[in-house]
Amino acid sequence: MARTIPADRFQKLVEAATRTFISRGYRQTQMAHVAEALGVAKGTVYGYVESKAALFDAAIRFADGHVPLPDAAELPLKTPAPGATVRLLEERIAEEAGGLALLEAVQVAECGDLGAELREVLVDLYRRAHRNRFAIKLADRCSSEYPDLADVWFGRGRWAQHELLIQYMRARIEAGSMRWVPTVPIAARAVLETIAFWAVHRHWDPSPQAIDEATLEDAVVDLLVHSLIPER
């Protein structure tokens, strides 16, 4: 059996794997790259995961910290069954989508206070993106090399959310509460891409700014809310 690193290094392994998959993509990432990033021999990594597929599954599963790390008795993690990692991502998307404030807003014909409703919708989108930022970045980076992952991430995640926001904006514009925009799909994507950059992608900015998270969230949401409310 391969020599293993101490149990408390599993989290560091997940972090190193996540950084490497995001930097290199799925196809170009090798176990040796992750071992180098962690500062250990390649054989050490095999004491924790059986294969690159198992390592990628671990990054999707554990990087955001939503589930407990595996016990030592479960290591090395086995290679997931075909489609298991994609199903894992699909389940996470479904869980997040089911509780969206945006989904609730779409189901309401009218709102009394667009500013308050819109702020709730955008804060919810921002926070969900931020707390799933590692899985989102992994899916974005690796989908081009992982077709089944792309089908789930783009079809049931990114573009499904975009379509839902389009429905919401059109309904509020038709009701006269939201400001008219020339092209709703473009405006909806601009909203989502703004959230995605600040909640997710800025964490991989090669020249980041040190900004308090609460201050940043409030500034981004405030900007978007005021861009969609009609001038009085």
* 134-163 pLDDT tens trace: 999 999 999 999 999 999 999 989 999 999
Question: Is 60 exceeded by the pLDDT of residue 206?
Answer: yes
Task: Say what percent of the chain tops pLDDT 90.
Answer: 87
Number of domains in the chain: 2
**CA–CA gap between residue 231 and residue 228 (Å, rounded):** 9
DSSP 154-177: IIIIIHHHHHHHHHHHHHHHHTTS
Within a 10 A sphere around the Cβ of 232, how many other Cβ atoms? 3
CATH number for the domain spanning 52: value is: 1.10.10.60
79 within domain boundaries:
no
Kindly state whether residues 133 and 212 are assigned to the same domain: yes
**CA–CA gap between residue 165 and residue 196 (Å, rounded):** 14
CATH number for the domain spanning 166: value is: 1.10.357.10
Kindly state whether residues 70 and 185 are assigned to the same domain: no
What are the tens digits of pLDDT across the range 94-134?
A: 999 999 999 999 999 878 899 999 999 999 999 999 999 99
Using pLDDT thresholds of 50, 70 and 90, give the confidence band for residue 3: very low
Kindly state whether residues 19 and 88 are assigned to the same domain: no
Kindly state whether residues 33 and 98 are assigned to the same domain: no
CA atoms within 13 A on the CB side of 169: 27
- Given this model, what pLDDT does residue 76 score? 94
Q: What is the pTM of this model?
A: 0.93
- Given this model, what pLDDT does residue 2 score? 45
Which residue range is the domain that position 35 belongs to? 7-74
Kindly state whether residues 108 and 37 are assigned to the same domain: no
Using pLDDT thresholds of 50, 70 and 90, give the confidence band for residue 4: very low
- Given this model, what pLDDT does residue 185 score? 98
